[in-house]
Amino acid sequence: MSEVTLRKVSLPPWTCPDGPSGVHSVAVHQERLHIARVRSARPGNTIEYQAAILDPAASRFITVAEGIAESRSGLALTAPTCAYRQIPGGDMGTMELLLGIQQGGQPALTLRWSPTSGALEKVSRPNAAVDAAFSCAACICTAKHAYGVHRDATGGISGLIDLNRPGGEQPLLLPMPPRGGRSLSDATIHDQAIYATISDAVLGFELWRLPLTDAACGHWEAVLERGAHRYAQNRDIFALASHRGSLFAIAGTAPALRTPKSKFLDYQGFELLRIEPDGWELIFGVPRFSPSGIKIPLSGLGPSLDAGARREFRGIVAHAGGLVLASSDIAGMHVATSVMGEDWIDGPIPGVGDFHRLHSGRTFSCGADLALLVEGFDAAGLHQTEVWLEDGRTQTAND
């Protein structure tokens, strides 16, 4: 794969005065990028919501749903959340956008939008499937099933739920193994199985596998434990990506969680692991011993593509027959590409994510198009969002 060149695409403008904002939910459906945003337009009293679809051919977003929800009882509207989930049926299923707003700690408004009908309807009383959709940043979907994260009455995560139960039935709970204070951080579908990651601040992440044929029984299998034997320096799996029959995992520890409490060496950067049915390999990262033998980086690169702790992970996606990995440092965003995951072409992308403070970055494969979504804050502390597409000329635009 060659180096990536990008062009900027303008997000739809907000209709209300400036306020805290951000892209709360993103999904790719039928090779098009769907974005949903919710924000407090006037703190405490009004919530503004917006959904848009990216048209890659025209390099522009089409706003498909927007509006304002106002408090009528004087109680503050809080915790705006939104999530996409897939409605099974038809060819690839239909994407449904769910927007949820709380008032006084209780659900106040739930809006459902389907791109098939184009209508935005209010849901008077959220059901279990809707609540489950709000429990995670996004649902994980197959052609026939949609899964969400289930939270118990205390707010703790107790497992994944199958949202495809017949009308009115409670979703099927797929309980996770005992966690002892750990938390579910991500889940994906790969090779006819659900893979779920568990964060652990002391012993390092765990990766569990649940074959779809055993989903009703909940027979989870341990794939990786103890942060792939890097322990607390691999507290989390940041992202999972399926490519050429293998599952790739980015592992590390977020900046705010890197403390000396673990008694381990200073953090050195994120790693890339390749997971196969018969074991795992270290693609780039820290050489070490494991129960399956010594692990040497197959790429010959150390943590963070040899850039060390100064480089932060932003996103990884399988695209155009290869892997695309986004990262950032004090100089800005970098994009690296690889066909098999072992040989990488890494370089900076001038102008992308050129914020006073970078907050996040995500990558998406939209058919033939690669999309990069970057969020940050300018010098005045105002939130900024950029969406970039592969190739073309750079434009200038902010949200």
Query: Does 291 fall in a domain?
Result: yes
Q: Which of 57-61, 62-66, 74-78, 194-198 has the largest mean confidence?
A: 194-198
Where is the domain boundary, 175, 209, 235? 175
Asked if 198 and 328 sit in the same domain, the reply is yes
Query: Does 347 fall in a domain?
Result: yes
Asked if 170 and 183 sit in the same domain, the reply is no
Q: What is the DSSP letter of 226?
A: H
- pLDDT digit string (tens) for 161-192? 666 655 445 556 666 665 555 677 777 888 88
Higher per-residue confidence, 91 vs 148: 148
Query: Does 57 fall in a domain?
Result: yes
Closest CA to 341 of 327, 321, 314: 321
Where is the domain boundary, 175, 210, 225? 175
Query: Does 159 fall in a domain?
Result: yes
pLDDT bucket at 103, cuts 50 / 70 / 90 = low
pLDDT higher than threshold 90 for residue 42: no
Asked if 125 and 150 sit in the same domain, the reply is yes
d(CA 225, CA 139): 24
Asked if 243 and 289 sit in the same domain, the reply is yes
Give the pLDDT score at 41: 61
Asked if 21 and 84 sit in the same domain, the reply is yes
The angle subtended at Cα 346 by Cα 342 and Cα 350, nearest 5°, is 160
- pLDDT digit string (tens) for 368-394? 889 998 888 878 777 788 889 885 333
Asked if 21 and 170 sit in the same domain, the reply is yes
Query: Does 24 fall in a domain?
Result: yes
d(CA 238, CA 207): 12
Asked if 152 and 192 sit in the same domain, the reply is no
pLDDT higher than threshold 80 for residue 292: yes
Task: Provide the Cα torsion 295, 301, 306, 309; round to 10°.
Answer: -20
Number of domains making up the chain: 2
Greatest distance between any 2 Cα atoms in the chain: 64
Higher per-residue confidence, 200 vs 148: 200
Query: Whole-number mean pLDDT of the chain?
Result: 75
Query: Does 5 fall in a domain?
Result: no
Strands of the sheet with 120-123, listed across from one edge: 77-87, 94-103, 106-113, 120-123
- pLDDT digit string (tens) for 241-279? 999 999 999 999 988 887 665 555 678 899 999 999 889
Asked if 261 and 141 sit in the same domain, the reply is no
Higher per-residue confidence, 129 vs 238: 238
Query: Does 262 fall in a domain?
Result: yes
Give the pLDDT score at 16: 57
Q: Which residue has the tokens 């779809």?
A: 212
Q: Which residues pair with 112 in a beta bridge?
A: 98, 121
Asked if 230 and 135 sit in the same domain, the reply is no
Asked if 355 and 244 sit in the same domain, the reply is yes
Give the pLDDT score at 36: 78
Contacts of residue 140, defined as CB under 8 A and 6 or more positions apart, other chains included, come to: 146, 147, 187, 188, 189, 194
Asked if 75 and 189 sit in the same domain, the reply is no
Long-range contacts of 274-283 (CB under 8 A, 24+ apart): 274/246, 274/247, 274/248, 274/298, 274/341, 275/207, 275/223, 275/224, 275/246, 275/247, 275/248, 275/249, 276/246, 277/191, 280/223, 280/224, 280/228, 282/228, 283/248, 283/341, 283/342
pLDDT bucket at 98, cuts 50 / 70 / 90 = low
Where is the domain boundary, 175, 207, 237? 175
What's the domain range around 230?
178-368
Of the listed ranges 138-147, 280-289, 361-370, the least confidently predicted one is 138-147
Asked if 183 and 154 sit in the same domain, the reply is no
Query: Does 20 fall in a domain?
Result: yes
Give the pLDDT score at 51: 79
Higher per-residue confidence, 6 vs 88: 6
d(CA 229, CA 291): 9
Q: Which of 97-101, 284-288, 347-351 has the largest mean confidence?
A: 284-288
**Cβ(193)–Cβ(177) below 8 Å:** no
With a pLDDT cut of 70, the percent of the chain lying above it is 61
d(CA 210, CA 224): 13
